[in-house]
Amino acid sequence: MFTSLKSRFLAPSRINRLGKGVGYFGLTALLAMTAATAQVAPLDATGLDASGNARSEMAACNSGKTQQDRVACVTEVRNANAEKRAGTLRNGGDYSANAMRRCEVFKDSEDAAACRARIEAQAQLDGSVAGGGVMRQSEIAVPAAPR
């Protein structure tokens, strides 16, 4: 009778060890997935998150993770937060129409046409916004003046 009790206790202990191992594996997998998805909002090119959370953006400004100086970054965050509260914050917009309006300063029709050609991606691009600006270059063949 003692041997039957002993064998009865051996089987559950193996099951318990297996259950604990699976449980620990599941817990480890859960923690790994939680850590992998812990970042709430991806950072954009400026180092700020895209969530619109003023506290996290202000923390990014104060930590120096952005591409602008601290004073300008804090000013931008405060202005955007004020516009958000007022309901006037626009995310995105019609950038091509804004770019075309910049070509209105040219009085000569050829210059205005060249400006529109550069905006409409008929130009070579060089640089980046983060690097200080995008240079658009296009070449126009002009026939020689008759003699």
Which phi and psi angles does 94 have, rounded to 5°? Answer: -95, 85
- Mean residue pLDDT across the chain: 75
Question: Based on the structure, what is the number of domains in the chain?
Answer: 3
Containing domain of residue 110, as a range? 95-137
Residues 78 and 99 in one domain: no
Residue 6 lies in a domain: yes
Same domain, 87 and 102: no
Where is pLDDT greater, at 2 or 131? Answer: 131
Q: Is 54 found in the same domain as 76?
A: yes
CB 136 within 8 A of CB 123: yes
Q: Is residue 50 part of a domain?
A: yes
CA 72/CA 57 separation, integer angstroms = 12
User: Using one digit for the tens of pLDDT, what is the confidence trace for 75-129?
Assistant: 988 988 888 888 877 766 677 788 888 899 999 988 898 888 888 867 778 888 7
Same domain, yes or no, for 9 and 33?
yes
